[in-house]
Every structure is written in C-alpha cells, then in structure tokens.
Amino acid sequence: MRRPDPSLDYFFRPKAVAVIGASSKPGKIGHESLRSLLMTGYSGKVYPVNPKAETILGLRAYPSLLDIPDDVDLAVITLPAKAVVDAMRDCVKKGVKAVVIISGGFGEAGPEGKAIEEEVVRIARQGGIRIVGPNCIGVFDGYSRVDTSFQPHERMGRPGPGAAAFLSQSGTFGATFLDWAAEDHLGVSKMVSLGNRADVDEADLISYLARDDETRVIGVYVESFTRGRELMESVRHAGKPVVVYKASRTEKGSLAAVSHTGRMVVRHEVASSALRQAGALLVDSFGELYAAVKALAKQPPSRGGVVMVTNGAGPCVMAADELAMRGVPLVQLSERTKEELRNALPPYALVGDFVIDLTGSANTSDYLKALEVLVRAEEVGLLGVFVVFQDSPLEDDFAEVLSRFDRGGKPLLVFAAGGRYTRVKRSLLERAGIPTYDDVREFAAASLALWWWGRHGRQGAPSV
C-alpha cells in the first residue's frame, strides 16, 4: 500500500490561501469561494488575486499570484479552463504546494477540455503540486475551517468539528452532506469534493484519512474508479469504517457518469464486489450513506441484536422487514428479560421477542423503565427507540430526559416522523449525540453500520 502523501496536509492546514480569479461581484464563484474562507472561520492569511480590483471583501487584491509578498500553501483557482494553464505555471513559480481547481470545462467537456486538463496535471507534477478537481467545490475542514466552496452561508450550513469525513465525486452531494451535518449537529473532520479527480482521488484520501486522528468514519460517494487496485488497498488498510454508495448502477447511469466527470465506469457488480471484499460497507442510497456515517460518528458499535421500544408499532413492523433484509439480527429476548419487563411496565405494555410496544398510552416513565431493563440485558446490542412525539400522554420533556439516559455503552438510535414539533425534538436529541431518523430504511442502514462495525471492526472484510 502506498503511504499517504504528506503534501495533502496543505489542502487542510495551509498557512496561507490565494484565490485566483477572486471577484468583487457577489454571486460569482470567485467571490463566494473567497467569502467562504472569510466567513467559515479560517484563521490563516487569505489573498485575492484579480488584476482589475484593488480590494475585495476588505482585502487587498493582487494583480497576479507572483505579486503576493508571502509564501502561499494553497491556491484556489476559479478561472475559465483555458486560463488555468497559465495560473498553474504561476503556482509552480510561487512554490504553491496544493491547488483546488473549482472551474469546469475540462475532461467532462470533451477532447479540448481533456487536453487542457492533461496539460494542467503535467505542469503540476513537474512542480510537485497536488490538485483537487477540477470541476468541484473543493475542500472543507471542520477544524482548520478551510472552506473553498462557493455556496453562500445563507444557502448552505457549515458543521462544526467532529469525527465524520466525506469524499464525493459530486459537489452536489458534498454540499448536501455539509448542510445536513450542520442541521444534525454532526461534527465533520473533512469533506472533499473531488470532481474530475485529475490528480488526487479517493485512494489518496482514504489512505490519508486512515492516519488522521480527527477522523473516525469515512463516507464515500463514487461513480467510477480512477485507480481501482489502489482504492481497494486503501479501504482494506484503513482501520476505520468506510461506507460507500456506488452510483452508476445501470447503463444509463454509467452514461450520465461519463458526462459528469469524463470517466468511464467499471461494471457495477464488479465494482461492488471488489469494494465489499476490500472491507467497505455498501449502502443503497445517499440517504442511507449519510445515515450510516452519522450513526458511526455519534454512537459506539453494536455487539448484538436490535430491540425496539415504541409507543406506535407500525414503523417497527417496517423496520423489522428492513433489518431482516439487510441481515441485521433482531434480538431474541430471554424469558428472564421478558419477565423483568412485564414486572416493570404497566399492564397495557406488550412485550414481544424484539419489540416492546408501550402503546399510545406510554409516558416518559414507561420508556425509561423498559430501557433500564434492556440496558442490563446481555442479549441486547442496540436500542431502537421509536417514538410518536405527537401522542399526548408522552410528556413534553421526553427528548430531554432520553438525552440524559445512561445507556451503559450501548448504541441508541431514534426513529421519529412528523412535522415541526417532532423536528424540534429530533434536533435536541441530535445535539446530545443521539442520531435520529424519519425513514425506516435509513434507520436500518444505521443499525447495519453499527452492527457491521461491531462485528468486524479491524478484523477484515465483512460478508454483508
């Protein structure tokens, strides 16, 4: 396995960043990428480069990169594709270590664009520069607060620092991941939108993140491979959960992927099989990818089957189907545990093998009594709390009480569907580190991820 390139540090911890093509006009990519660096909290030096402006966003603008008096570690290029070749030559002369090329019009645009892309890479390699992109939104670091994206803060949230990393060939999914993470109080270590992957790819970054102390789980959205063998090796040796959504599953999807990033696509069945053998967990949608990453970042792994406690059993029936189809074990409660539950709960509670139906009469005390028994039960690996927040017998403070409940080291996931009131309660739980879901498929994907990692961990490739 190739060791991670230490020069990738310059994408995430640069001391100085130049935005080449910075614009004075709000809404322009060169303006918004510069504004993101300033608003997200990056504390290093920032230099706008624009020969037609004296100042941009209160910063002195420089006619060219070579006019900046200080060293520059990272350059963000937002120029049209044809102008990027000369900009890259300036980066080599300046001693820049890393470049994010936001601009499109390269390999995805046809032969002329592909030729420009190849020339840019040739220049970069001669100068010892690594490239993220082109045709991307670039990088986000939850700790250093480097943020090259051109999505305004008014339109996309930025999460705080945390354990989840996300790599994406799609800038759209990169932006969505950050937005959802900010809303769910999910801390993010790093997000990289890879675009055309002219240089840096998933294999490089998984190897890098495997040795990143700030990262505990790696999510990947991938359509096609650049270096398939190296990618599998990076997953195999990651030592951390790697969750993958592999798109372009059909002939039409493959054609769309080629027009998206200009890359040919490996047959889906072959690619999926290789990823599983390498040790990745594959999921079936972007929503499931996010659900699994969130669970792995916020909760400990599961060491046993799932039990569900609810005041409305309908979603539990659906969840049982989804869990069974994914091979996630549903707990078989022992007779001793069942007897403890019957003694602790009111007569209206229904105690099954893996569902404790407290019915619509349930209150906070009923949930706590059930959970206290289940935490002690050796056969229980994961606590699934299904709650109808809309039911009037359930006190308003249920979410606050649940967030303080001592789970004895067992993971807990919450399913709750509903409108404004339910979303407020879910947000409170998310802030406390309890993942919540309103889709049973995503709940099941999260449960699978915790069970999978608890079962396999660093031991090798799973068979799920």
What are the tens digits of pLDDT across the range 392-407?
999 999 999 999 999 9
Any idea where the domains of the chain sit in the sequence?
1-135, 156-298, 300-453
- pLDDT at residue 153 above 90? yes
Work out the angle at residue 75's Cα, subtended by the Cα atoms of residues 74 and 79, and round it to the nearest 5 degrees: 165
Q: Which of 261, 371, 256 is nearest to 308 (CA)?
A: 371
Question: Among positive and negative, which fits the CA dihedral 367, 373, 358, 447?
Answer: positive
Alpha helices in 95-165 (DSSP H): 111-126
Q: What mean pLDDT comes out for the span 81-105?
A: 97
Q: What mean pLDDT comes out for the span 77-106?
A: 97
- pLDDT at residue 434 above 60? yes
AA letter at 151: Q
Condensed to tens digits (0 to 9), the pLDDT of residues 293-311 reads 999 999 999 999 999 999 9
Contact in structure between 2 and 207 (CB atoms under 8 Å): yes
Do the domains at 1-135 and 156-298 have one common CATH topology?
A: yes
Average pLDDT, the chain: 94
Condensed to tens digits (0 to 9), the pLDDT of residues 178-212 reads 999 999 999 999 999 999 999 999 999 999 999 99
Predicted confidence at residue 256, as pLDDT, reads: 55
Alpha carbon distance 207, 188 (integer Å): 18
pLDDT-derived band at 269 (thresholds 50, 70, 90) equals confident
β-strands 55-56, 59-60 pairing: antiparallel
Contact in structure between 370 and 379 (CB atoms under 8 Å): no
Q: What mean pLDDT comes out for the span 93-100?
A: 98
> Distance between alpha carbon 385 and the CA centroid of its chain, in Å?
24
Contact in structure between 312 and 389 (CB atoms under 8 Å): no
Predicted confidence at residue 1, as pLDDT, reads: 47
- pLDDT at residue 134 above 90? yes
- pLDDT at residue 458 above 70? no
Condensed to tens digits (0 to 9), the pLDDT of residues 274-283 reads 999 999 999 9
- pLDDT at residue 3 above 70? no
Alpha carbon distance 121, 92 (integer Å): 12
**For a pLDDT cut of 70, what percent of the chain falls above it?**
94
Condensed to tens digits (0 to 9), the pLDDT of residues 33-74 reads 999 999 999 999 999 999 999 999 999 999 999 999 999 999
Predicted confidence at residue 14, as pLDDT, reads: 98
Residue 207 backbone phi and psi in degrees, to 5: -60, -40
Predicted confidence at residue 92, as pLDDT, reads: 98
Condensed to tens digits (0 to 9), the pLDDT of residues 223-268 reads 998 899 999 999 999 999 999 999 976 655 555 555 545 555 567 7
Alpha carbon distance 31, 51 (integer Å): 14
Q: Which fold has domain 300-453?
A: Rossmann fold (3.40.50)
Least confident of 94-103, 225-234, 455-464: 455-464
**For a pLDDT cut of 90, what percent of the chain falls above it?**
90
Name 140's bridge partners: 147, 191
Predicted confidence at residue 4, as pLDDT, reads: 65
Predicted confidence at residue 268, as pLDDT, reads: 77
Per DSSP, the residues of 133-153 read -SSS-EEEETTT--B---S-T
Task: Map residue 292 onto helix, strand or coil.
Answer: helix
Q: Which CATH architecture has domain 156-298?
A: 3-Layer(aba) Sandwich (3.40)
Contact in structure between 386 and 308 (CB atoms under 8 Å): yes
CATH superfamily placement of domain 1-135: NAD(P)-binding Rossmann-like Domain (3.40.50.720)
